[in-house]
Structure 1
Amino acid sequence: MDHIEEAVACALSPTADPALKQQATQYCEQVKASPDGWQSCLALFVREPKSTPETRLFCLQVIEEALMSRSNNLDDSRLGFFRQTFMDYIQREFVSGGVDNTLSSEPPYLKNKFAHAIALLFRQTYLKSWTTFFADMLAFITPLPQSSGKSNMKMVDLFLRILMSIDEEVVNTLTSRISSKEENTLNINIKDRMREQDVPALANAWYELLTEYKERDLSFAEMLLRIVGVYVVWIDISLIVNERFVSLIYSYLLTTSIRNAAADCLTDIIKKGMKPLDKLQLISILGIVDVLQQVDLSSDSEFRGRVARLVNNLGLQLCQIWQDTNPQANSTYPPTANPTAYTHISQLVPILLQFLRDEDDNVSEAVFGFLREILNIFKTIKKATGSLPQEQKVLMRQILESIVMKMKYGEDMDWVCVAIAGGSESVGTIGEDSIGDEDMLNFIELRRELKRFYDQIAALSASLTTSFLHSAVTTTLTTFVNEKAAGSAGVSDWRDLELALYLLYLYGEAIKGIPQFAVVAPSVGANGGKNVNPIPPVGAPLTPLGECLFEMCKSGVSAYPHPSVSATFFEIACRYSNFFEIRPDCIPDVLEAFVDPRGLHHPLLANRTRVWYLFWRFTKDLKTKLSPFVQTVLTSIQDVLTIEASLPPVLAPDFDLSSFKDQTFETKTYLFEAVGLLISQDTIPAQQQFEYLSAVVTPFLTEIQKCLEACRAIQPSSNGTVGGVSGITAGSPMYQDLELVWTLHHRLMALGSIAKGFPDVLTNKKGAAVAGTTGGPCAQIFKQVAEITLEALVTLSRFEVIRSAARFTFGRLINCLGQDSQPYLPPLITGLLQECSIMELAEFLPFMSQVAHKFKATIISILNGLLFPLVQKVFFFLNQVPNGTDEALALVELRKSYLAFLVGLFSSELENVFVTRANGQHLNLILQSVLHYAQDMSDVPVSRMAFGILLRAVNSWGSQSENAGGYGAPVGNGSRSGSVSPDYSERLEAPGFYQFMYEHIVRVTFEVPLKPTFDLQDGQSMLVLGEIAGLQKAIVQKQGDVFLSYLSQVYLPSINCPPDLAQEYVQALQQLDAKQFKKYFQ
Structure 2
Amino acid sequence: MDEQALLGLNPNANADFRERALAYFEQLKVSPDAWQVCAEALAQRIYSDDHVKFFCFQVLEHQIKFKYAELTALQQQLIRETLIAWLQAQMLNAQPEKTFIRNKAAQVFALVFVTEYLTKWPKFFFDILSVVGLNTRGVDLYLRILMAIDAEVVDRDIIHTPEEARRNTLLKDTMREQCIPNLVESWYQILQTYQHTNSELTCQCLEVIGAYVSWIDLTLIANDRFINMLLGHMSVEVLREEACDCLYEIVNKGMDPVDKTKLVESLCQVLQSAGFFSINQEEDVDFLARFSKLVNGMGQSLIISWTKLVKSGDMKSAQDTLQSIESKVPLMLQLLIHEDDDISSNIIGFCYEYLHILKQLVLLSDQQKANVEAVMLAVMKKLTYDEEYNFENEGEDEAMFVEYRKQLKLLLDRLAQVSPELLLASVRRVFNGTLQSWQSAPFMDVEVAIRLLYMLGEAIPASHGAHFCGDVAKASALQDMMRTLVTSGVSAYNHTSVTLEFFETVVRYEKFFTVEPMHIPNVLMAFLDHRGLRHSSPKVRSRTAYLFSRFVKSLHKHMNAFVEDILSRIQDLLELSPPVSLSRFAIENGYQMLLSSDDQLFIYETAGVLIVNSDYPAERKSILMRNLLNPLMEKFKILLEKLVVEQDEERQAILADCLNHAVGFASRTSKAFSNKQTVKQCGCSGVYLDCLQSFLPALSCPVQKEILRGGVRTFLHRMIICLEEEVLPFIPTASEHMLKDCEAKDLQEFIPLINQITAKFKAQVSPFLQQVFMPLLHAIFEVLVRPSEENDQSAALDKQMLRRSYFAFLQTVTGSGMNEVIANQGAENVERVLFTVIQGAVEYPDPIAQKTCFIILSKLVELWGGKDGLVGFADFVYKHIVPACFLAPLKPTFDLADAQTILALSECAVTMKTIYLKRGPECIQYLQQEYLPSLQVAPEIIQEFCQALQQPDAKVFKNYLKIFFQRAKP
What is the TM-score when the length of structure 1 is the normalising length? 0.72
Contact preservation (8 Å) 1:38, 1:62? no
Contact preservation (8 Å) 1:905, 1:911? yes
Superposed displacement of residue 596, structure 1: 1.5
Contact preservation (8 Å) 1:5, 1:55? no
Give distance in 2, aligned partners of 1:937 and 1:371.
Answer: 60
Question: What does 1:470-481 correspond to in 2, within 5 Å?
Answer: 470-471=424-425, 473-481=427-435
Query: Which residues of structure 2 form unaligned runs of 5+?
Result: 585-593, 963-970
1:562 aligns with 2:495: yes
Deviations 1:941-989 (A, max 9, x none): 444444444455455x15x6324344xx1xxxxxxxxxxxxxxxxxxxx
Give distance in 2, aligned partners of 1:110 and 1:752.
Answer: 62
Give distance in 1, aligned partners of 2:145 and 2:355.
Answer: 41
Partner of 1:722: none
Deviations 1:909-964 (A, max 9, x none): 5444333x346763444444444444578544444444444455455x15x63243
1:809 aligns with 2:741: no
1:363 aligns with 2:343: yes
Give distance in 2, aligned partners of 1:554 and 1:684.
Answer: 30
Label 1:1039 to 1:605 Cα distance change in 2 as closer, same or farther (>3 A): farther
1:444 aligns with 2:425: no
Contact preservation (8 Å) 1:480, 1:557? no
Contact preservation (8 Å) 2:154, 2:168? no
Label 1:260 to 1:774 Cα distance change in 2 as closer, same or farther (>3 A): closer
Partner of 2:385: 409
Is the partner of 1:287 in helix, strand or coil?
Answer: helix
Label 1:1060 to 1:687 Cα distance change in 2 as closer, same or farther (>3 A): closer
Give distance in 2, aligned partners of 1:317 and 1:664.
Answer: 52
Contact preservation (8 Å) 1:252, 1:258? yes
1:688 aligns with 2:616: no
**Among 176, 179, 190, which residue is 1:194 paired with?**
179
Partner of 2:630: 698
Label 1:407 to 1:1019 Cα distance change in 2 as closer, same or farther (>3 A): farther
Superposed displacement of residue 831, structure 1: 1.9
Label 1:877 to 1:342 Cα distance change in 2 as closer, same or farther (>3 A): farther
Partner of 2:447: 498
Deviations 1:467-499 (A, max 9, x none): 46644554454335422xxxxx43233333333
Question: What does 1:277-356 correspond to in 2, within 5 Å?
Answer: 277-287=258-268, 290=272, 292-294=276-278, 296=280, 298-327=282-311, 336-356=316-336
Give distance in 2, aligned partners of 1:647 and 1:237.
Answer: 66
Is the partner of 1:409 in helix, strand or coil?
Answer: coil
Deviations 1:222-263 (A, max 9, x none): 444345434545655444433343223223213544311221
Deviations 1:760-805 (A, max 9, x none): 8999xxxxx9xxx4663x4444343333223343455763222223
Give distance in 1, aligned partners of 2:950 and 2:76.
Answer: 77
Contact preservation (8 Å) 1:793, 1:831? yes
Contact preservation (8 Å) 2:261, 2:305? yes
Contact preservation (8 Å) 1:711, 1:741? yes
Deviations 1:610-646 (A, max 9, x none): 3333333333333343222110001111111112213
Partner of 1:626: 559
Give distance in 1, aligned partners of 2:462 and 2:37.
Answer: 76
Label 1:762 to 1:815 Cα distance change in 2 as closer, same or farther (>3 A): farther
**Among 754, 762, 770, which residue is 1:848 paired with?**
754
Question: What does 1:825-904 correspond to in 2, within 5 Å?
Answer: 825-880=731-786, 884-904=792-812
Give distance in 1, aligned partners of 2:411 and 2:556.
Answer: 36
Deviations 1:700-745 (A, max 9, x none): 3333333344344346xxxxxxxxxxxxxxxxx4444443443333
**Among 829, 833, 845, which residue is 1:922 paired with?**
829
Contact preservation (8 Å) 2:309, 2:317? yes
Percent identity among equivalent residues? 25
Label 1:709 to 1:169 Cα distance change in 2 as closer, same or farther (>3 A): closer
Give distance in 1, aligned partners of 2:942 and 2:11.
Answer: 84
Superposed displacement of residue 164, structure 1: 0.4
- AA at the equivalent of 1:444: V
Contact preservation (8 Å) 1:254, 1:295? no
Is the partner of 1:415 in helix, strand or coil?
Answer: coil
**Among 939, 961, 973, which residue is 2:866 paired with?**
961
Question: What does 1:945-984 correspond to in 2, within 5 Å?
Answer: 945-950=852-857, 952-953=859-860, 957=863, 961-966=866-871, 969=872
Give distance in 2, aligned partners of 1:576 and 1:200.
Answer: 61
**Among 219, 222, 244, which residue is 1:241 paired with?**
222
Partner of 1:482: 436
1:672 aligns with 2:555: no
Superposed displacement of residue 664, structure 1: 3.3
Label 1:707 to 1:53 Cα distance change in 2 as closer, same or farther (>3 A): closer
Partner of 1:601: 534
Give distance in 2, aligned partners of 1:82 and 1:745.
Answer: 71
Deviations 1:841-890 (A, max 9, x none): 22222222333344443333222211221122223333445564444443
**Among 179, 193, 196, which residue is 1:209 paired with?**
193
1:590 aligns with 2:523: yes
Partner of 1:643: 576
Give distance in 1, aligned partners of 2:22 and 2:805.
Answer: 64
- AA at the equivalent of 2:400: N
Label 1:581 to 1:1023 Cα distance change in 2 as closer, same or farther (>3 A): farther
Give distance in 1, aligned partners of 2:623 and 2:124.
Answer: 102
- AA at the equivalent of 1:841: L
Question: What does 1:145-184 correspond to in 2, within 5 Å?
Answer: 155=135, 157-168=136-147, 170-173=149-152
Query: Which residues of structure 1 form unaligned runs of 5+?
Result: 46-50, 94-103, 142-154, 417-434, 484-488, 521-535, 652-661, 716-732, 764-768, 970-991
- AA at the equivalent of 1:441: A
Give distance in 2, aligned partners of 1:13 and 1:903.
Answer: 63
Give distance in 1, aligned partners of 2:822 and 2:514.
Answer: 50
Give distance in 1, aligned partners of 2:370 and 2:843.
Answer: 63
Is the partner of 2:596 in helix, strand or coil?
Answer: helix
Partner of 1:264: 245
Superposed displacement of residue 131, structure 1: 5.2
Partner of 1:524: none
Give distance in 2, aligned partners of 1:1058 and 1:24.
Answer: 61
Contact preservation (8 Å) 2:643, 2:652? yes
Number of equivalences: 926
Contact preservation (8 Å) 1:1036, 1:1043? yes
Label 1:1053 to 1:113 Cα distance change in 2 as closer, same or farther (>3 A): closer
Partner of 2:965: none
Does 739-748 or 1052-1061 show the bigger shift?
Answer: 1052-1061
Label 1:361 to 1:694 Cα distance change in 2 as closer, same or farther (>3 A): same
Contact preservation (8 Å) 1:913, 1:919? no
Contact preservation (8 Å) 1:42, 1:60? no
Label 1:134 to 1:172 Cα distance change in 2 as closer, same or farther (>3 A): same
1:739 aligns with 2:672: no
**Among 229, 244, 247, which residue is 2:210 paired with?**
229
Indicate the structure with greater helix content: 2
